Amino acid sequence: MIKNDLFLKALKGETVERPPVWMMRQAGRYLPDFMKLKEKYDFFTRCRTPELATEITVMPIHQIGTDAAILFSDILVIPQAMNIEVEMKPGVGPWLPNPIRTAKDVNNVIVPDIEETLGYVMDAIKMTKQELNNEVPLIGFAGSPWTILCYAVQGQGSKNFDKAKKFCFTNPVAAHQLLQKITDTTIAYLKAKVAAGVDAVQIFDSWGGMLSPVDYQEFSWKYIQQIIDALKDEIPVIAFGKGCWFALHEMANSGASALGVDWTLSARNARYLSGGKITLQGNFDPSRLYSPPAEIKRMVTQMINEFGKDSYIVNLGHGILPDIPVENAKAFVDAVKEYKAN
C-alpha cells in the first residue's frame, strides 16, 4: 500500500483533506544535484541508465516533498525506438538530423519491440519503485502522437511547427500512417510501463494548441483517445493538452481520470468547459515561481480555493523553468501542504 495516496484519491474523485501536489519537470534543472549529474552525463545517458534515472526521479520527493514522483525520461525516446534519430543539442534542445518529410520516410519508421528498444525505461521504473518504498505513487508518461509527429517532421522545436502542419495538410495519408504508428508504439510502451509498476500515466500534448479545433480532432485527439481507450481499464490516465481548452468537453468524456490545464484558463472556465465532474490538474503559471515565496503561497491558496480542494491536483500549467530557486519551488509545495479549506 502506498503511504501517501492523496494523488491516487484525487484521480478517483474522492474527498481529501487537501489536494495533492506535484510539478511537471519536477525532476530537473532547477535542482542543484541534478545539475551536478548533468555535468557528468549527457541527456540520453541519464535517460538510459536506470540508476541515474532513479536518482533523478526521487530527488524532488526528498528535496521539495511532492505527493507523486514522475519518472525521469523524455517523450523523444519513442521516436528513437521507432528508427528516428534524435539528439539533444546544447542550446538547441531536441535535434532530429533526418526529419520525416515524405511517404517513403514514413515507411521506414517501425513499430518496435518495446522490451528490446525501451527496456531500460522499465528497468528504471522497477528500480524507482524500490527506491520510493511505497512512499508516494510513480507517474509514467508519453508524448501525444501529434506532439511526437511535430518533432519528427519539424526536426527541432519551433514556435509554430509550420513544416509539421504543412506535412499533415499536403500529405494527410502519410501523416495519418505516421500518427497511427506512433499511437501503436505509445500504447505498447505505456502498457509495458504499467506492467513495470507505475501507478498512473500522463499523456503530454504539448503542441496540441498549435492546431485549430477541427484539425485538433483529426490530427491529435482521435489518437489520444485510442491511447486512453487502451489503458483506462488498467490505470488512471491524465490527458494534458497545452492550449487545448477548446477540447475540454471531449476530453472530459474520454474515460481519462483527470485533465491537465494550462495557466491561460481560469479555474471557473476549466470546470465549466469540462462539465464540472472530472478531476482537473494545474495550472499555476511556471513563470510565477519567480515571485517571492510569500506571494507564491498566497496565489497557490487562492488557486486551490478557486478550483476547490476535491477532484483537483495542484500543478503548474507546464514544466518548471530551469532557473527557479529551489526555495520558491518548495514554497509552492508547502502552500498546498499547509492548505486548510475555509
Q: Which positions make up the binding site for substrate? A: 25-29, 44, 74, 151, 206, 318
Which contacts of 55-60 are long-range, i.e. CB under 8 A and separated by 24 or more positions? 56/27, 56/28, 57/27, 57/124, 57/128, 57/131, 57/138, 58/128, 58/131, 58/132, 59/27, 59/31, 59/33, 59/34, 60/23, 60/26, 60/27, 60/31
Which of 172, 151, 176 is closest to 161 using CA atoms? Answer: 151
Grid cell listed for 334: 508547502
Distance CA 95, CA 207 (A): 16
The annotated binding site is made up of 25-29, 44, 74, 151, 206, 318
Neighbouring C-alpha atoms within 13 Å toward the C-beta of 312: 25
- In a 3-state reduction of DSSP, which class is residue 280? strand
- Asked if 143 and 86 count as a contact pair (C-beta separation under 8 A), the reply is no
Distance CA 214, CA 209 (A): 12
Distance CA 277, CA 129 (A): 31
Which contacts of 289-294 are long-range, i.e. CB under 8 A and separated by 24 or more positions? 289/316, 289/320, 289/321, 289/324, 289/328, 289/329, 289/332, 290/324, 290/328, 291/328, 293/327, 293/328, 293/330, 293/331, 294/331
Grid cell listed for 257: 481520470
DSSP label of 90? T
Distance CA 77, CA 228 (A): 20
> C-alpha 82: how far from its chain's center?
20
DSSP 296-321: HHHHHHHHHHHH-SSSEEEEESSPPP
